[in-house]
Structure 1
Amino acid sequence: MGATVVYVHGNGNKVREELLKSQWDRALFGTDMGSASRMAYWAPVRYPDPLPDRQDDRTEDDPTEDDPTEDDPTEGGPGGIEELPGPGAQAPPEEFVAQVLAEARREAAASAGTEKGAARDPAAEERLAGWLRDMAWFADTLVGDDLSAGSGASDTPRVLPLPGFARKQAFRLLVERTYKDVHAYFFGGAGPAMREVVRAALPASGNGPLVVVAHSLGSIVAYEVLREEQRPVDLLVTVGCPLAIREVQDVLALPPAVPGGTSVWHNASDLRDLVALDHTLRPEYAPVDLVTDHLVTNSSANHHGIREYLAAGPVRDPVRALFGRLATEQTR
């Protein structure tokens, strides 16, 4: 049997499932993979309608780019920044955090008493809020104009090709939407439905080698499903992953560990990715010899974009190598 790659997307609304899968295929493999790839498309759990086909993912991709998907989702140049507000008063981090917390809790309260409602755990919410505070304060350290200058080397990325006010807006958009989706997963009743989407996307055990590639909040969802299922996974790849963060670990259903059945786990992040913050899974997820952490350059505006992560060598190469090896074996 041929290998299957299952994608688990991250926070924020998305374009329709078929287009999203094709975008990930082309960013990772350079071509549409057809039935060899699947998208665990949980966005409808949180968002009733997908983004228009020509609208960018404003949470995970570059908010300054025009739509890059018409010809090749791995390509795209800078466009306008008309969707970002102009310079003006920005709430200080603590005020911003209080606003995001209040909105997330209102969303959770609105779902209470319904089929998808969840019991509130104020102590656990407050622990997770520590991550939100860290993200918000760290975001503010990344918007100084002096940070945009590199060392002069051609491969040294600039922080953001935007004025400071627009950089702050891009980062705060990432922080706000990420936290509210994570809060909904753990405390707003969305978790069971999101995990069921991932579970349903996994092929039947024994149907051939399995690769799981998960981004951002999707890495939490995929991890918890695999931890519960204990099913064979030849390669697990997580990018922009918050699973190394103590506040996230505190609210996981099971203690941190490599999911049983997972043969190899590669984890990649950019040092400036606010969602990852802590970049080393290996010390907390035993057995440590199965986990490899990679620091990569993600040149998207918020350093969290999925296309840039999928194009990074430590992410792309192990997946392509596994598929290439299997293709060679099948032709013998």
Structure 2
Amino acid sequence: MPEPAIVYVHGNGNKVRKDLLKSHWDRALFGRDMGAASRMAYWAPLRYPEPLPDHGGADPSAGGGPAPGGTSGRETDRESVRESLRVTGREPGIPAGEEPGAGVPETPEEFVERTLRTARADAGPATEGPAADHAVDGVAEAELAGWLARMTYAAETFDRGEDTLPAPVPGVGVRALPLPVFLRSPIFKLLVERTFEDVHAYFFGGAGEAMREVVRTELAQVGDGPLVVLGHSLGSILAYEVLREEHRDVSLFVTVGSPLGIAEVQDRLARPSAVPAGVAAWVNVSDLRDLVALDHWLRSEYAPPERVTDHLVKNDSDNHHGIGEYLRSAPVQAHVRAVFNHLAGGQS
């Protein structure tokens, strides 16, 4: 029987050099370097001229690596997410000349009004009329303020602890912005541009095709044996879109810390939300405190639902988004090792 293989797709931000990054992921997932059995779809050079330093062999993504926003070296891991998404205080995302004043915090109401004002300007004439009036009334602003509050570490971790059982599905899925699409899309673009630079480059900056080509190239290098594709953060979007277009047979698709459940991300996908045709099983893993995986349940969003399983885990990295913690989580270990059982059996 042909040997199984795994293709990793990394997420936002600059990374260490390709071979070292692959080795870090191998060791977190399998306990050893997997050699030719694993490949890394390494798109970071498209965005960053030089890789991160080796840090003496330490894995920067294990518990405090590049933030979900992909900081280009300007911000530390912890401060990038917390400051960029802070509702109060001077945010890095406030346009020049619109700061509420030196040392004066911007209130949630001010931030909501500024965000809606910019979105209305970006959306143009489509925002006029009864629908727009309803979208920007007090109810919508209160909903948006509530969403912004949730984006500042409001979520608690999953109390029952980590195991390999599927996560219970809530009655109503989370949506990042409870607004009509003609307002939601420009607001999403604004927030992504201010906070997640690589995501903005992928969706709005013309980098998407080159990034997807990196994934296609790595997939083309693997044989006909059982295949696992594992994407983290933005990497889960790249992997998903390539698998949707290529119809590649995949034994297991794993997404960790993925934003694919967010309606604003689904708005930007090239094809309607569905399990890629060749994917036999899709496992989605997230921590409730992970700001990137704002909607944690993909099962109800991607048909057929019987091929999708959602798991909630505890990711105790600084931003609750670290790849090392996700790779070491029980559900990821169990599902991936089931494909690699004759290679990884007995390895820790």
Does the alignment reach a TM-score above 0.5?
yes
Query: Following the alignment from structure 2 to structure 1, what is the Cα–Cα distance between the partners of residues 193 and 293?
Result: 14
Other-structure match for 1:291: 308
Q: Tell me whether 1:99 sits opposite 2:94 in the alignment.
A: yes
Quick one: which of 138, 142, 151 aligns to 2:150?
138
Other-structure match for 1:160: none
**CA contact 2:62–2:324 (8 Å) conserved in 1:** no
Query: Following the alignment from structure 2 to structure 1, what is the Cα–Cα distance between the partners of residues 270 and 205?
Result: 15
Deviations 1:90-140 (A, max 9, x none): 9745963743899xxxxxxxxxxxxxxxxxxx559x9xxx9x988853343
Other-structure match for 1:12: 13
The alignment of Structure 1 onto Structure 2 pairs a total of residues equal to 261
Q: Which aligned pairs between 1:161-310 and structure 2 lie closer than 5 A?
A: 179-203=196-220, 207-310=224-327
Query: Following the alignment from structure 1 to structure 2, what is the Cα–Cα distance between the partners of residues 217 and 61?
Result: 18
Any unmatched runs of 5+ in structure 1?
65-80, 103-121, 156-174
Q: Tell me whether 1:62 sits opposite 2:76 in the alignment.
A: no
Deviations 1:20-55 (A, max 9, x none): 000000000000000000000000111111000008
Query: Following the alignment from structure 2 to structure 1, what is the Cα–Cα distance between the partners of residues 251 and 38?
Result: 15
Are the structure 2 counterparts of residues 63 and 205 from structure 1 closer, same or farther at C-alpha, using a change threshold of 3 Å? closer
Other-structure match for 1:2: 3
Q: Secondary structure at the match of 1:231?
A: coil
**CA contact 1:60–1:304 (8 Å) conserved in 2:** no
Give 1:187's aligned amino acid: F
**Superposition deviation, residue 189 in structure 1:** 0.9
**CA contact 2:61–2:324 (8 Å) conserved in 1:** no
**Superposition deviation, residue 254 in structure 1:** 0.5
Are the structure 2 counterparts of residues 263 and 327 from structure 1 closer, same or farther at C-alpha, using a change threshold of 3 Å? same
Are the structure 2 counterparts of residues 311 and 154 from structure 1 closer, same or farther at C-alpha, using a change threshold of 3 Å? closer
Give 1:251's aligned amino acid: R
Query: Following the alignment from structure 1 to structure 2, what is the Cα–Cα distance between the partners of residues 26 and 13?
Result: 20
Give 1:216's aligned amino acid: S
Query: Following the alignment from structure 1 to structure 2, what is the Cα–Cα distance between the partners of residues 316 and 207?
Result: 22
Q: TM-score, normalised by structure 1?
A: 0.68
**CA contact 1:139–1:274 (8 Å) conserved in 2:** yes
Q: Secondary structure at the match of 1:96?
A: coil
Q: TM-score, normalised by structure 2?
A: 0.65
**CA contact 2:232–2:256 (8 Å) conserved in 1:** yes
**CA contact 1:209–1:233 (8 Å) conserved in 2:** yes
Q: Secondary structure at the match of 2:91?
A: helix
Q: Which aligned pairs between 1:308-319 and structure 2 lie closer than 5 A?
A: 308-319=325-336
Deviations 1:218-238 (A, max 9, x none): 000000000000110000000
- Give every structure 1 segment of 4 or more consecutive aligned residues whose post-TM-superposition deviation is greater than 3 Å: 55-61, 81-85, 90-95, 97-102, 132-137, 175-178, 203-206, 325-328
**CA contact 2:64–2:77 (8 Å) conserved in 1:** no
Are the structure 2 counterparts of residues 193 and 142 from structure 1 closer, same or farther at C-alpha, using a change threshold of 3 Å? same
Deviations 1:146-205 (A, max 9, x none): x89x99x999xxxxxxxxxxxxxxxxxxx8886221111011011011000000000457
Q: Secondary structure at the match of 1:6?
A: strand
Any unmatched runs of 5+ in structure 2?
67-75, 98-121, 128-140, 163-191
Query: Following the alignment from structure 2 to structure 1, what is the Cα–Cα distance between the partners of residues 96 and 316?
Result: 29
Are the structure 2 counterparts of residues 46 and 26 from structure 1 closer, same or farther at C-alpha, using a change threshold of 3 Å? same
Other-structure match for 2:131: none
Give 1:267's aligned amino acid: N
CA RMSD of aligned residues (A): 3.9
**CA contact 1:135–1:277 (8 Å) conserved in 2:** no
Q: Secondary structure at the match of 1:303?
A: coil
**CA contact 1:270–1:298 (8 Å) conserved in 2:** yes
When Rg is computed on C-alpha atoms for both structures, the one with the higher figure is 2
Deviations 1:65-93 (A, max 9, x none): xxxxxxxxxxxxxxxx99969xx9x9745
Other-structure match for 1:24: 25
Q: Secondary structure at the match of 2:298?
A: coil
**Superposition deviation, residue 207 in structure 1:** 2.1
Are the structure 2 counterparts of residues 195 and 322 from structure 1 closer, same or farther at C-alpha, using a change threshold of 3 Å? same
Other-structure match for 1:69: none
Other-structure match for 2:338: 321
Deviations 1:283-312 (A, max 9, x none): 110011000000011010110000000000
Are the structure 2 counterparts of residues 271 and 196 from structure 1 closer, same or farther at C-alpha, using a change threshold of 3 Å? same
